[in-house]
Amino acid sequence: MKEKMLLKNMLKRQNLIMFRRRNVKIMGKRIQRIIKQWKEEAGLTCVVQWTYIDGILTLYTGQPGFMIGKAGKLYDKYYSILRKNLYGLTELKFVETDWFWA
């Protein structure tokens, strides 16, 4: 009886871990697609890398001003798109890097 309960708990944990891994891959692809559209609309010529940890999406780029846009219009537009597509997004940060950083 005790062994069956342990086995059930192990299976639940494994299923949860697999679900999280699939979910991270799906979210990563969504983020990549949205950032690619954002980069094209902003006319950005340098690399954009990102991390998404605990609801904070951090974008690393050499030209953050291009992504923010005039009066923050691009930022507001894509922040709302990201909030719709990513549950738990609480903050969007920009980190300015060197031009050749990749």
Which secondary structure element, helix H or strand E, spans residue 88, and what is its range? none
User: pLDDT tens digits for 81-98?
Assistant: 999 988 788 999 999 887
User: pLDDT tens digits for 51-70?
Assistant: 888 888 999 998 888 899 89
Which residues are registered as beta bridge partners of 51?
58
* pTM given for the model: 0.71
Mind giving me the DSSP string for 55-68? TEEEEEES-HHHHH
Task: State the residue for tokens 């639940």.
Answer: 12
Segments making up each domain of the chain, as ranges = 2-96
Spatial separation of the C-alpha atoms in residues 98 and 66, rounded to whole Å: 15
Query: Which CATH architecture group holds 2-96?
Result: 2-Layer Sandwich (3.30)
